[in-house]
Amino acid sequence: MSHIRKSFDRRDFLRATAGTTVALAAASVAGAATASAAPAPAAGRSNLSIPKDRIGIQLYSIRDKVSSLGFAVVLAELARIGYQEIEFAGYTQSTSILGRQITLPEIRTLLDDNGLRAVGSHVGIGNLRSNLQGELDAAQILGMPHLGTANAPSNINTVAGYRAAADEFNVWGAAATARGLKLYQHNHAGEFAFATDQPSVRLYDVFLKNTDPRHVYLELDIYWAYVGQYRWPGFDPAAYVRNQPYRYPLFHMKDGDANSANANGFDIVEFGAGDLPYEKFVRDIGPRASHVGIWEQDTAPNTLPNPPGSLGAAERSFTALKGLLG
């Protein structure tokens, strides 16, 4: 895959700001309220379909901080950094914080108090089968417009297996629509593999074709889409969005650094430290519809020094995303 020239040197930026970001994030967790400096908007960005003022975060990226510090501390810190949209990966924190588990109404109050919006949540596909109405209830309490799963549609990688999964998602999606919500599926790389029984048919295409666009939506994880392209070539991730823009209300903005020693072709890194062609992608998807860009980094809890750890990665990645979309 060819790499485009970036409008900024990402690695130089990270080296130059690392010390400042660590100090700011550590101070904020202790109670400071210093505002992050945002880069000046770049010329000609007004037609992008990923709004720069709706940058979100998947809380899985900072799962260690949610668990140990709790939603009150974490959501206040994310608001200070500048995040606007929150995608959940569970609704629990350490019971040592309150002496009990936090409740959904309490999380909603914390969101509102910090000027944050719940944009979606990843739940297990088994939860959709066994407790769909309960998951929809939770989504409505938190005020989120979307509810999704990061599980593959099916573990049966045949055309029939994915058609059956599409039928199941259509039922769940109709139930979500009836409640004023949008059901979505979040991809990893495996969905872009070819069907085991029809090696010329891509599983993702089967799912996309057989799900009802009125009721089933997609959250494109851009990193995993490029991994899929690396492992099973023959498609352009941006083309899926360009061809059906309104089916993709959410993106995962995860960066990757090319590494031929990795079977996936890329290592997951902080946003701005990798070389996935994000500038080309955001242009190629076209200006139609609006897609919320959500930062995710699976490896962020391993970030050193800690503190700020994953919160430092969150702040540096937010700044880089703001620069991309500015």
Query: Can you give the pTM of this predicted structure?
Result: 0.87
CB environment 263-293: b (16+ within 10 A), e (fewer): ebbbebbbbbbbbbbbeebbbebbeeeebbb
**From first to last of its 326 residues, what are the pLDDT tens digits of the chain?**
333 333 334 444 344 334 434 333 333 443 333 333 333 334 445 579 999 999 999 999 999 999 999 999 999 999 999 999 999 999 999 999 999 999 999 999 999 999 999 999 999 999 999 999 999 999 999 999 999 999 999 999 999 999 999 999 999 999 999 999 999 999 999 999 999 999 999 999 999 999 999 999 999 999 999 999 999 999 999 999 999 999 999 999 999 999 999 999 999 999 999 999 999 999 999 999 999 999 999 999 999 999 999 999 999 999 999 999 98
The dihedral region occupied by 85, where left means phi > 0, alpha psi between -120 and 50, and beta the remainder, is: beta
Distance between CA atoms of residues 268 and 284, nearest Å: 23
Give phi and psi for 103, each to the nearest 5.
-100, 160
Q: How far is CA 62 from CA 56, 84, 106, 190, 191, in A?
A: 13, 16, 20, 24, 25
